[in-house]
């Protein structure tokens, strides 16, 4: 009997994570007048993004559901 591997992405409490395109990142940085270094970081080892085709320097858009609607958060992927 083999164990079925648990996929954290499928868990109801894990928000949706989306890799942003270079154009989307450029627009985001311009909109908030910030640099990539000013975005909060997410580890490349984070279970929520571990199975994504991702590399350091990519930006992730995190879509969280809340009582008042959807909240959007942005994180830059780091080798931490």
Domain membership flag for residue 59: yes
Q: Which residue range is the domain that position 40 belongs to?
A: 11-78
Domain membership flag for residue 3: no
Domain membership flag for residue 6: no
Q: Say yes or no to pLDDT of 23 above 90.
A: yes
Number of H helices, E strands in the chain: 1, 4
This prediction's pTM = 0.81
Would you tell me how many other CB atoms lie within 10 Å of the CB of residue 27? 12
| Structure confidence by residue, pLDDT tens digits, 56-68 | 999 999 999 888 8
Domain membership flag for residue 1: no
CATH number at residue 45: 3.90.940.20
- Residue 18 pairs with which residues in a beta bridge? 61
What is the number of domains present in the chain? 1
């Amino acid at each position: 009997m083999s164990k079925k591997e648990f996929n954290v992405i499928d868990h109801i409490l894990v928000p949706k994570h989306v890799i942003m395109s270079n154009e989307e990142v450029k627009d985001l940085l311009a909109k908030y007048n910030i640099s990539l270094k000013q975005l909060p970081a997410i580890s490349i080892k984070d279970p929520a993004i571990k199975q994504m085709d991702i590399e350091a320097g990519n930006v992730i858009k995190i879509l969280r559901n809340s009582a008042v609607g959807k909240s959007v958060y942005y994180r830059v992927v780091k080798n931490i």
